[in-house]
Amino acid sequence: MIKHKIVIIGSGFSGIGMGIKLKKAGIHDFVILEKATELGGTWRENSYPGAECDIPSALYSYSFEPNPNWEHVWSKRDQIFQYQKDVARKYGLLEHFRFNERVSSAEYAQQQWTITTGQHTYCAQHFISAIGQLHERATPSFKGADNFIGEQFHAAKWNHDIDLADKNIAVIGAAASAVQLIPEVAKQAKQLTVFQRTPNWMMPKPNRAYSLFEQWLSRKFPILSRLYRNTLYLLADGVLYPALSGNRLAMWFVRFRVTRNLNKHIKDPELKAQLTPNYTIGAKRLLFSHTYYESLNQSHVGLQTQPISHITPNGIQTVDGVITSADVIIYATGFITNPFFKSINVQGRDQSLEQAWLSGAQAFLGIHTHGFPNLHMMYGPNTNLGHNSIIIMIEAQAEYIVQQIKNLDHTNKTTIEVTQSAEQHYNQELQIRLNNMVFSQIEKSWYMDNGKITNNWPGSTWEYRRRLAQQNQSDYQIS
Ligand SMILES: Cc1cc2nc3c(=O)[nH]c(=O)nc-3n(C[C@H](O)[C@H](O)[C@H](O)COP(=O)(O)OP(=O)(O)OC[C@H]3O[C@@H](n4cnc5c(N)ncnc54)[C@H](O)[C@@H]3O)c2cc1C
């Protein structure tokens, strides 16, 4: 049994950010367990061509670690991944990682957590989850897929050994990853067919490289980077957020931007109709691309909107009987939604998380759940955003958790637990607010679990940070 004060699971932006905040607070007795062979989370896994962030890097990065060397406004995956590695090294985290440690269960008993991986058993006072919301790949099981004679793989597990040049390629899916990879794959493919189930609203994303002068300015005058970051922050919270919460002017503005984007690039009326969603903007994740629509205009790229019936040995057959031949099938089909702890058996004081969350995942501030003392969650239930950088939420959570741990250390007690009434009251308020937002104006999306919105936060990030900063300790019991 390996003993530490704190065990963190996950080495993406959450796990790294948490580790840094702990070290800054003088807490060094912790390990970060990671199932993969290196750190990085989302940015380790998603190496598909065209992978990049959707929130400008000046904002999609730690506030305490600005990077004047970003090469693009929206950075490419490789540079984000490198940034994570550099930051982890700079803050002395490397000695805390334990790789190839897939956590399978965690059990609370006698005021401590016992955490089991395939290799070891760890025991800790505090158990911090940083497992992310988008890490379990979703691959639909189409009839006949096993008999397909070509290559097939998921976008988040890109097979870099396969040369796509002059191949017939089918991409299943037309959402966030698909719109990034399709323009790149189209550059190589002989024929590319996109199988779209639902069209998505898409904002323009005029990505460009920073000039050397801009990088120099940002290195020389960090205040300028700070101002730029703050401006981006205010735009996201001040324009995109109001649009998601029903503000008419903000909604008009976003609608204007997305429809102009579509009209500008797509002239064919039939294609335009196929690409026009029939749901309220923002109800599903808003996409960002400057190149996707253009790529569909190419003669060797086609859009197939008929549902897939099955996969044949040589291609894909849709329900209308049309067969599209393919040498390679790429599943841009996203991730298992609401993955919160589904792959880890977490046993709390009286019951498992699975039992506690029978009607959908929920937590107080997205961090604490009654019956699970000293379990702290990052990017947990109802902390996802449709409008701003997740890293803002992650940093606020890391600071909050450190504060709770320090507060506890100042008493002669060992456990902290949110009260049942605080958690219930908080979640009732949350669900009422979410039901008035655009996220609820659709039957199904990855934000929902059986009709309940379990992923998204209903407020601005400003509000979330304020609530964490003003948190009332009477919502907790310590023992
Ligand atoms: C392609 C893509 C682009 C995105 N772009 C943006 C963007 O522009 N802006 C934005 O705000 N958000 C974006 N996101 C969301 C993104 O997931 C978050 O911004 C952020 O990376 C989440 O970090 P995390 O550390 O919480 O989770 P992750 O990065 O998912 O890391 C979780 C880690 O936990 C590990 N883990 C999971 N289960 C176990 C286990 N049982 N045992 C051990 N280890 C485990 C995983 O291997 C992984 O390393 C994007 C997501 C994707 C997929």
pLDDT in tens, 457-472: 999 999 999 999 988 8
Decide: 13 in ligand 1 pocket, CB within 6 A. Answer: yes
Mutational pocket test of ligand 1: of 31, 42, 401, 457, the residue with most ligand atoms within 8 Å of the beta carbon: 42
Instruction: Give me the DSSP letters along 261-323.
Output: HHHHH---HHHHHHH--SS-TTSSPPEE-SSHHHHHTSTTEEEE-SPEEEEETTEEEETTS-E
Q: 2-136+336-478 and 145-208+247-332: same fold? A: yes
> For residue 195, what pLDDT is reported?
98
Q: In the chain, where are the structural domains located?
A: 2-136+336-478, 145-208+247-332
> For residue 154, what pLDDT is reported?
98
Q: Examine the pLDDT at 339 and tell me if it is beyond 80.
A: no
The identity of residue 51, as a single letter, is: A
List the structure tokens of 397: 């959570």
Decide: 116 in ligand 1 pocket, CB within 6 A. Answer: no
C-alpha of residue 271 to centroid of ligand 1, in Å: 33
> For residue 342, what pLDDT is reported?
81
The DSSP 8-state label assigned to residue 211 in this structure reads P
Decide: 41 in ligand 1 pocket, CB within 6 A. Answer: yes
Which atom of ligand 1 is least distant from the CA of 343?
41
Prediction pTM value: 0.96
Whose Cα sits closest to atom 20 in ligand 1? 13
Mutational pocket test of ligand 1: of 16, 18, 97, 134, the residue with most ligand atoms within 8 Å of the beta carbon: 134
> For residue 261, what pLDDT is reported?
95
Stretch 402-424: mean pLDDT: 95
C-alpha of residue 43 to centroid of ligand 1, in Å: 7
Residue 192 has φ and ψ, to the nearest 5°, of -125, 125
pLDDT in tens, 118-132: 999 999 999 999 999
Q: Examine the pLDDT at 443 and tell me if it is beyond 80.
A: no
The rounded distance, in Å, linking the Cα atoms of 469 and 117 is 34
> For residue 452, what pLDDT is reported?
86
pLDDT in tens, 367-385: 999 999 999 999 999 999 9
Nearest Cα to 397, choosing from 468, 475, 474, 463?
A: 468
> For residue 222, what pLDDT is reported?
95
Burial class (CB in 10 A: 0-12, 13-18, 19+), 313: exposed
Decide: 9 in ligand 1 pocket, CB within 6 A. Answer: yes
Q: Going by DSSP bridges, is the β-strand pair 476-478/416-418 parallel, antiparallel, or unpaired?
A: antiparallel
pLDDT in tens, 69-121: 999 999 999 999 999 999 999 999 999 999 999 999 999 999 999 999 999 99
Task: For the beta carbon of residue 297, count every other beta carbon within 10 angstroms.
Answer: 12
Q: Going by DSSP bridges, is the β-strand pair 191-195/202-203 parallel, antiparallel, or unpaired?
A: unpaired
Whose Cα sits closest to atom 5 in ligand 1? 53
- Share above pLDDT 90 across residues of the chain, in percent, rounded to a whole number: 86
Q: Do the Cβ atoms of 108 and 347 come closer than 8 Å?
A: yes
Stretch 213-237: mean pLDDT: 96
Decide: 62 in ligand 1 pocket, CB within 6 A. Answer: no
CA 142 to chain centre: 26
> For residue 136, what pLDDT is reported?
86
Stretch 313-327: mean pLDDT: 97
Decide: 34 in ligand 1 pocket, CB within 6 A. Answer: yes
Fold (CATH) for 145-208+247-332: FAD/NAD(P)-binding domain (3.50.50)
Decide: 390 in ligand 1 pocket, CB within 6 A. Answer: yes
Whose Cα sits closest to atom 18 in ligand 1? 390
Whose Cα sits closest to atom 6 in ligand 1? 53
> For residue 442, what pLDDT is reported?
77
Which atom of ligand 1 is least distant from the CA of 40?
49
The rounded distance, in Å, linking the Cα atoms of 161 and 10 is 27
Mutational pocket test of ligand 1: of 131, 289, 397, the residue with most ligand atoms within 8 Å of the beta carbon: 131
Q: Examine the pLDDT at 145 and tell me if it is beyond 80.
A: yes
Which atom of ligand 1 is least distant from the CA of 14?
25
Q: What angle do CA 428, 432, 438 make, to 5 degrees?
A: 140
Q: Examine the pLDDT at 444 and tell me if it is beyond 80.
A: no
Stretch 397-421: mean pLDDT: 96
CA 383 to chain centre: 10
Find residue 377's DSSP bridge partners.
Answer: 129
Write down the number of H helices and E strands in the chain. Answer: 14, 22
Nearest Cα to 401, choosing from 336, 468, 338?
A: 468
Decide: 286 in ligand 1 pocket, CB within 6 A. Answer: no
**At 332, is the secondary structure helix, strand, or coil?**
coil
Mutational pocket test of ligand 1: of 337, 390, 401, 457, the residue with most ligand atoms within 8 Å of the beta carbon: 390
Determine the angle formed by the axes of helices 390-409 and 461-469, rounding to 10 degrees.
Answer: 0
Q: Which residue has the higher pLDDT, 86 or 242?
A: 86
Decide: 455 in ligand 1 pocket, CB within 6 A. Answer: no
Mention the CATH class of domain 2-136+336-478. Answer: alpha beta
